[in-house]
Amino acid sequence: MARFIIRRVALLALTMLITSAIVFALTQLVPGDVARLILGRDASPEALNTLREEFGLNDPAPQQYVNWLGGFLTGDWGRSFTGANQPVRPLVTERLGNSMRLALMTLLISVPLSVFLGVIAALYENTWIDSIISLFTLAVVGLPEFVTGLVLINGLALGVKALGLPATSGVPENTIGDWIHELILPSLTATFVLLGYVTRLTRAGVIDELKKPYVRTATLKGLPQRTVIFKHVLRNALLPTITVIAISFGWLIGGLVVIENVYNYPGLGALLVDAVKQKNLFLLQAIVMVTIFFFAVANLLADIVYALLNPRIRLE
């Protein structure tokens, strides 16, 4: 198992190195002169050159990449071109913490709900229960995020004022009640995006496992259906679902741009939009790298859990 983890970590490091080169190269293709964007069209050539020297924009591209990557690895992620030249790392880490709160809340809702609906649909395969679950999950996943968000805001926050839910979401305090109050609506919106896919995967996996001989043997031995499902069937049926949940976590960290804008939530996705609009290269590079890192780490954890549940993976 240790060799398996070492190989995966080495692959993660190589992936991040290649990704960093791609991210840096793409940001260099951003049109326009960054120095002139900051100082304005009326800036003097001397002021422009001074700013370029300050940010290292006059160095050759390979040297800029080495300096940027070295700084990134040591915690110096550069300075924002806007906002009084603030350091980038505190800006990103603050928004990252906000996005992680929203991602965690979404997973706490979506994963148990999706697995539960998938198991119920599988146990009642081809019945009206299965049909209702399938229609509901496909319907909600097909709705655009901003439509779902607006429906929830108008239906629950504005329509049922007795619930006391806010139309815009802020960063919650460290209490369960405040987390539910601030994050329930954006979390439900993100849950609807994931619900259909995870439910269908769980349903298909459970149906496939229920047809295997070991399930029949366990049933004939007199084991209760609950024990067969939760101790045997789900252990194997959820293997493909684990990877999907891991990828979903990476998406929840940096991909909730629409949801964060609908609820005016100060997350990493909203900061990414601002960085693109302002052509804030160091901030843009940092956000993309952090998002990709979480994607990679989530997949690494999925591989480890997958290997623990299926020892054949380690042998392969």
Q: What is the pLDDT of residues 225-257, one digit of tens each?
A: 778 887 778 877 887 787 788 778 877 887 788
Rounded distance, CA 100 to CA 148, Å?
21
What's the pLDDT tens digit per position in 10-39? 888 888 889 888 888 887 776 666 676 666
pLDDT for the residue numbered 38 = 67
Which residues face 128 on adjacent strands?
Answer: none
Domain annotation for the chain: domains and CATH numbers: 89-315 (1.10.3720.10)
Size (the chain), residues = 316
Angle at 238 between CA 235 and CA 242, to 5 degrees: 120
pLDDT at 85: 67
Whether pTM > 0.85 for this model: the answer is: no
Average pLDDT, the chain: 82
> How many Cα neighbours within 13 Å face the side chain of 228?
19
Q: Is 241 buried (19+), middle (13-18) or exposed (0-12) by CB count in 10 A?
A: buried
